[in-house]
Chain A
Amino acid sequence: MTSLPHATNKKLGLVIDLDTCVGCHACATNCKQWNTGGHMAPLTDKNPYAKDPDGVWFNRVHSFEVKRGKTNPGLTVNFPRSCLHCENAACVTVCPTGASYKRVEDGIVLVNTNKCIGCKLCSWACPYGAREYDEDEGVMKKCTLCIDRIYNETLDPEDRKPACVLTCPAGARHFGDLADPDSDVSKLVANRAGRPLMPELGYKPTNSYLPPRARRVDGNDIGAENKLEAVSPRRGFLSWVDNMLSR
């Protein structure tokens, strides 16, 4: 079994805004194109032009409805899902070979494919379904948080972000150090009540999700009345029209 570091210098991760995500899949496909030529290359696709096409993706978007209740009009939620780079990453501790590991420097969970025997214990251990098995190579693959981008000295500093964050058209994805309370991502989490996924399981995910904001379906929500007062028709037709409007 593989040990986790006692602590990490940083907790790099993503903050994903479910109030802004429109479910366009840009993060998923941009991740795919970056990573299929990146550190874990390739992100193999089985039957790409046939029945049952099935490939390796580090990031998948699920759209679902939250059932409406008597007082709540219901919601459609677009939910991007990828590795959460947990502090207590069970996928690491179950790994029999030391292939799965969590980096001390930044907390990123990676797989050393040279050591991976494809036993899939990690994918069983991960409750978030973040592990992606490459049947063709017989090894487990996963989100690297674009480790080959975020420190990449051949890129402009503004481009040293995970591909999913860089490409998100709605700006629903944010990247930073969640160990630093002054970082933009930590502030977002604090201000918008960001929450980890299924915290009760105790894996302490680093990534955080900003929940959909309350819907605003009352005039008071934006300081307006709920209906306009009609100008009394007794004052005459279009009595409110100003007679001295300048051209």
Chain B
Amino acid sequence: MTVEQTPGFKFRDAHAEEDNVDLSPSLGDEVKYTTCYMCACRCGIRVYLKDGKVRYIQGNNNHPINKGVLCGKGSSGIMQHYSPARLSKPLKRVGERGSGEFEEIEWEEALEIATSRLKKIRAEDPSKLAFFTGRDQSQATTGWWASMFGTPNYAAHGGFCSVNMAAAGLYTIGGAFWEFGEPDWGLTKYFMMFGMAEDHDSNPIKIGLGKLKKRGAKFISVNPIRTGYSAIADEWVGIRPGTDGLFIMALMHELLKAGKVDQQYLVRYTNAPWLVIQDQGADDHGMFARDENGDPLVWSTKDEALKPSTDITTTPALKGEYKLADGRTAVPSFQIMAERYLDEKYAPAAVAETCGLKADDIKRIAAELAHVAFEEEIVLDIKWVDWAGRKQDRMIGRPVSFHAMRGISAHSNGFHTCRAIHLLQMLLGSVEVPGGFRIKAPFPKPIPPTNKPTGKVDHIKPGTHLPGMALGFPTEPADLLLKEDGSAVRIDKAYTWEHPLASHGLMHMVIHNAWKGDPYKIDTLLLFMANMSWNSSMNTSKVIEMLTDKDENGEYKIPNIIYSDAYYSEMVAYADLILPDTTYLERFDCISLLDRPISSPHSAADAIRYPIVEPDRDVRGFQGVLLDIGARLGLPGLVNDDGSPKYPGGYPDYIANHERQPGVGLLAGWRLEDEDGDHMDCRGPANPDQLEKYLENQSFWHHEFLPEHTYYKMANRGYLEWAHELGCVVTKTQIVFHMYSEILQSFKLAGEGHGAHQPPEKDRERIKTYFDPLPIWYQPLEETMTDLDEYPLHALTQRPMHMYHSWGSQNAWLRQITNMNYLYINRETAAKQGIVDEDWVWVISPYNRIKVQVKLMDGVNPNTVWTWNAIGKRSGAWNLDKDAPESKKGFLLNHVISELLPPRGDGYRYSNSDPITGQAAWFDLRVKIEKASPDEAGETFPQFKATKKPPHMPKKPKILRYGAEFKTHKKGGKK
């Protein structure tokens, strides 16, 4: 019986009365809403301010991304904002590069230095500017600026991060994993997550996993490492790195062998029935047979005739051999696919050893997938109309879903592996259906999106802008960006025969290529928020040398480096001019539908950031600075006819008033009515008061689709009409998924000698081998060139969740959680080498060696070692003490990863990248471990000379009492 239930009894709580706790303290004077910027999630945040200081940052419960929750980083935003590593004024280098010797200059001088140099470049050869951005969330703006400048040398960090996921998805289903789609968390019953690294995207995945757990849905994690998400999986599949593709193909083998395939889905929504020409040696072998309108043909069994694939009256065949009008034969692409994966080399027993799995487990998982997809079908009583106008009275769902992480992306076979996952989803009929994998608006888009890369030789002229955006999606060899002599147009060699579908560029190759002058020398490297002298480069020690290397005249080989960052990151010391950026609470930004969306599968959304607090330093938001420089350069789109700046109000002015096409701007919400007084979603004349509207609406815009538009978006008339109005799709016809990729086949044919655009002999074999219209699995490239007996272990890195995608683990709170990193080794593997917990070891790759401390664990594939990435810091950087554990005990695995593959027979060295997309193959690394001698213990290797600090870096507190000023006691006080 509690006290309250005792009649007539009143207990006096003397202790509580004495303490007199203030139960309702005020959180401050102001509440402001903006968007987090501590990773790629871009959650809505509610910021409480007290006396102008940040009291508390809470997730915005109205925001579509995070619905009120906030992760470990976002919750540490206060320490990010008030970090003593913040830069405070523009800096000009005065010592040698790398020394950290700078003098402070005024903004006007900084802008003039940048402008005069860039003006000269643009007048002579705009491609001498290489502009690469790192954790940039404004690529719609920075990419446009580069195009107005006229340089093809633009990309963000996607080439070393996401491009395999993005390209494989966009060339297959018109959407992608990561921020472009998500499992139907509310309905899926069986969820498989592939690949290590617990990142894209953070809070939505955590919220989603929480929902699965509540409903008891099964969650399988296929990941060499059992941390984080894998820890709560119903089943952990500790696969050998780089073999996921083979595992997936074995699942397809099992499904095909049992006939457990959603045939109706394949016929309606994919190109499985399209007829593929079988004419070995012909120019069009392996391409689709088409009618005179260019429409792919199918064989209609009912009509016993060839029919265009768009004819909805047909019954398209999935197997058989059919005669074309010209007498040649063709077969449905489904048959080619089935023949491939039914081959016994994809049988579970054949792949099990390579994958490090048991054949019985592979068979069981295939059976479970089939069971849930077909025996636990979901039917939603939602009427909808398909692309052809046919009324459907329900929505059928196959409640199995998939997601894939960096562990898939960061291998040189990642493009095909990711495509294999999408094929598996198609076989199960689970893309864009209830319970399946769903795509976020403004995707799905046509496959691939219709914008091609620009930067053909005749596009690049002195003083001239490019006719389009530098990055895009090639669909045939003619789209490659090559000079007349066959050399690369771009400094990173994107869109060459070496990596034709490099739709995010190859940022990891820029410094190497610029240093080497291959394919040519550049003048200025402009970087934003990209730690390229440290954790964002492969082969970090060598890259540091490249940044400081001089030619015979004593000039730096990379002549001019301009860098913008808010913090004293490792890259700052290697730049000649520093443009100090703001923190995320001090800046404008727009999270645009023209960029990576923050939409959901059932709604479109975009958002802004705006200054919650004014900077107390002489710093400016990078995008505003870029627009300012652009106006000084007189770039088209940034000046009026009289030469005056077009956006005198800076970045916010640009966000609201810039139009990409008539009626289409960076933000979709609250645009004005058109001349006829019509108001359309997302489209309309610019509204000068748009940002005010966003502020009134907690800094985001959100458009919820009608229930009948939320699934089957690739073939849903209502949705496609909306997307067409917005400009996401060019026509309202169905987006047919590319199970079989004719685009890849067109490159293969070129490799085989067909067509006007031919690869150079050095690349021919590579093109023939890796461009395949159906997913293939091959051993990661570096492994095929490495002595695997000598280097028996795979080595991987991932960010801890509390530092995922974050900018600066100097954060006073987060660094208390992790301030050094160990190398984690499987307990049994370590035992074989006599290694015990916390031993010091050398990690040796064919390229370099590092010395690190180890921790043993059970939950890691026995052939794999791994560590947390980007914990290791350079001594002197980030305004940490020189002897901080980050530099003395932390380390980067990057030092032992090469940006180049070993030389092949003729001595040529390709970049260490996926041969299709140029994605950096971080995870192909092989190493061996040797125990360090006792006198080598205690400090990681390599160590670097501490960089000096720029003038006026803030003093760091020895004791931090943040928040003491907010305390409100009704009586008494601190002792």
Contact = CB atoms under 8 A, between A and B. Distances in A.
A240 B298 CA distance: 19
B858 A147 contact: no
Contacts of B370: 224, 228
Given A25-B72, A148-B22, A9 B2 contact: yes
Interface in B492-523: none
Contacts of B268: 247
Nearest to B67: A169
A112 B15 contact: yes
B76 A222 contact: no
Contacts of B2: 7-10, 179
B75 A154 contact: no
A226 B75 contact: no
A185 interface: no
B487 interface: no
A14 B858 CA distance: 30
A116 B19 CA distance: 11
A198 interface: no
B354 interface: no
Contacts of A2: 15
A21 interface: yes
Contacts of A223: 371, 375
A6 B3 contact: yes
B111 interface: no
B884 A153 contact: no
Contacts of A240: 259
Interface stretch (B57-65, B277-285, B589-597): B57-65
Contact of B76 (A21, A29, A50, A166): A29
B120 interface: no
B84 A49 contact: yes
A227 B363 contact: yes
B59 A51 contact: no
Contact of A30 (B75, B228, B260, B319): B75
A73 to B, nearest CB: 7
B643 to A, nearest CB: 47
A167 interface: yes
B3 A8 contact: yes
B75 A19 contact: no
B69 interface: yes
B302 A24 contact: no
A154 B26 CA distance: 6
A33 B885 contact: no
Interface string B58-96: 110100001011111111111000001000000000000
A247 B879 contact: no
Nearest to B257: A230
Looking at B19, B190, B814, the one whose CB has the most chain A CB atoms below 10 A away is B19
B626 interface: no
Looking at A41, A153, A155, A169, the one whose CB has the most chain B CB atoms below 10 A away is A169
B617 to A, nearest CB: 18
A23 B819 CA distance: 17
B544 interface: no
A201 interface: no
B234 to A, nearest CB: 4
Contact of B209 (A45, A170, A212): A170
Contacts of B810: 49
Residues of A in contact with B, size category: 35 or more
B189 to A, nearest CB: 8
A20 B210 contact: yes
B801 A247 contact: no
B163 interface: no
B600 to A, nearest CB: 16
Interface in A55-71: 55, 57, 63, 65, 67-68
Contact of B312 (A32, A171, A244, A247): A247
A37 B966 contact: yes
A231 B338 contact: no
Nearest to A101: B15
Nearest to B266: A245
Contact of A76 (B11, B227, B884): B227
Interface in B808-825: 810, 812-817, 819
Interface string B3-19: 11000000101011011
B972 A29 contact: no
B640 interface: no
Contacts of A78: 228, 231-232
A158 interface: yes
A216 B212 CA distance: 14
A168 interface: yes
Interface of B: 1-4, 11, 13, 15-16, 18-19, 21-27, 50, 55-59, 61, 66, 68-78, 84, 190, 198, 202-203, 206-207, 209-211, 213-214, 218, 226-232, 234-236, 254-255, 257-260, 263-264, 267-268, 273, 298, 301-302, 309, 311-319, 335, 338, 360-361, 363-364, 366-368, 370-372, 375, 801-802, 810, 812-817, 819, 857-859, 879-881, 883-885, 956-967, 972-975
Given A44-B960, A50-B956, 10 more contacts: A23-B228, A47-B958, A78-B231, A101-B16, A115-B18, A166-B59, A169-B69, A219-B367, A222-B218, A244-B302
11 contacts: A39-B25, A42-B964, A49-B956, A50-B880, A54-B816, A110-B21, A148-B25, A170-B213, A171-B213, A219-B368, A228-B367
Interface of A: 2, 5-10, 17, 19-26, 28-30, 32-39, 41-55, 57, 63, 65, 67-68, 73-78, 98, 101-105, 110, 112-116, 136-139, 147-148, 151-155, 158-159, 166-172, 179, 212-213, 215-219, 221-231, 237-247
